[in-house]
C-alpha cells in the first residue's frame, strides 16, 4: 500500500516542470489537512519549495545558471485563480510578454480578474490582480483572453504583420478555433485582427 506522502510525491514528480501546486490539487489522495501537513513536510525536507503561503513548486535545476529556476509568475497566477475560483487574464505588458511580443521580463506581473484586487510580493517580483467586471473575461479560455488583452495593449493601429504572425505561431489549431468562437462579443476591430490571426497563413 503506497502512503499518502508517496502518492503526493509521485503526482508532483509527474507534473510539468514549473507547475505550481495547492493543497486542493491532491484532495483525491487525502484530506485537506493531511495534504497540507504532507506538503509542509516536503518543504522541510527540501523536496519542494514554498513560493508564498499555500503555494508550492518543485524547482527545476538549471545547468546553464547552475541554480534552481525561480517559480513562474504565470503558473503562480494560474494556481491562485484555481484556488479562489477566479477567471483571470494577463494584462497589457504581461500578455505581450507571454505571447513573445515583448522580450522585456516584467518586474510587475499584472492580471485582470473576476476576483478581488490583490498584490503578492514574490522575491523581487510583484504579482498584481485587478478586479474587472466578470463578463470581461468570462466564458473564454485563458489563451483567448491573453490574445485579446495583447491586442488591446498594442492598440488598433499598433498591431503589425509580425505581431500577427507571432501570435499565430503561439496557437494550435484547436486554440485558433476556440479563439474565433470565444471572442465574438469583442469590439469589431479586435475581431478583425483575430480573424486575420486564425484564418491567415504564415508568409
Query: Does 106 lie in the same domain as 186?
Result: yes
Query: Does 83 lie in the same domain as 20?
Result: no
pTM for the model = 0.90
Q: Name the one residue in this structure whose C-alpha cell is 488598433.
A: 156
**pLDDT at residue 200, as a whole number:** 78
Give the β-pairing of 88-90 and 49-52.
unpaired
Query: Does 166 lie in the same domain as 127?
Result: yes
Give the CATH number for residue 38: 1.10.10
- What are φ and ψ of residue 146, in 5° steps? -65, -45
> Exposed (0-12), middle (13-18) or buried (19+): which is 138, by Cβ within 10 Å?
exposed
Q: Where does a domain end: 42, 62, 82?
A: 62
User: Residue 177's domain spans which residues?
Assistant: 73-199
**pLDDT at residue 128, as a whole number:** 98
Please tell me the total number of residues recorded for the chain in this structure.
Answer: 203
**pLDDT at residue 1, as a whole number:** 67
Query: Does 171 lie in the same domain as 90?
Result: yes
Sign of CA dihedral 127, 75, 146, 98: positive
**pLDDT at residue 94, as a whole number:** 96
pLDDT in tens, the chain (203 residues): 689 999 999 999 999 878 999 999 999 999 999 999 999 999 999 999 999 999 999 988 777 777 778 889 999 999 999 999 999 999 999 999 999 999 888 889 999 999 999 999 998 899 999 999 878 888 899 999 999 999 999 999 999 999 999 999 999 999 999 999 999 889 999 999 999 999 877 65
Query: Does 91 lie in the same domain as 178?
Result: yes
Amino acid at each position: 500500500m503506497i502512503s499518502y506522502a508517496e502518492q503526493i510525491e509521485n503526482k508532483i514528480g509527474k507534473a510539468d516542470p514549473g507547475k505550481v501546486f495547492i493543497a486542493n490539487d491532491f484532495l483525491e489522495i487525502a484530506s485537506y489537512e493531511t495534504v497540507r501537513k504532507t506538503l509542509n513536510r516536503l518543504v522541510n525536507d527540501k523536496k519542494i519549495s514554498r513560493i508564498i503561503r499555500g503555494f508550492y513548486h518543485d524547482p527545476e535545476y538549471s545547468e546553464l545558471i547552475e541554480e534552481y529556476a525561480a517559480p513562474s509568475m504565470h503558473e503562480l497566477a494560474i494556481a491562485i485563480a484555481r484556488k479562489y475560483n477566479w477567471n483571470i487574464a494577463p494584462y497589457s505588458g504581461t500578455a505581450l510578454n507571454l505571447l513573445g511580443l515583448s522580450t522585456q521580463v516584467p518586474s510587475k506581473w499584472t492580471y485582470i480578474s473576476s476576483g478581488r484586487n490583490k498584490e503578492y510580493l514574490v522575491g523581487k517580483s510583484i504579482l498584481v490582480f485587478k478586479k474587472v467586471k466578470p463578463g470581461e473575461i468570462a466564458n473564454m479560455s485563458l489563451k483567448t483572453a491573453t490574445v485579446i488583452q495583447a491586442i488591446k495593449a498594442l492598440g488598433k493601429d499598433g498591431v503589425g504583420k509580425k505581431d500577427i504572425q507571432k501570435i499565430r505561431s503561439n496557437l494550435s489549431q484547436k486554440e485558433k478555433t476556440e479563439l474565433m468562437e470565444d471572442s465574438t462579443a469583442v469590439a469589431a476591430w479586435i475581431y478583425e485582427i483575430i480573424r486575420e490571426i486564425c484564418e491567415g497563413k504564415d508568409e
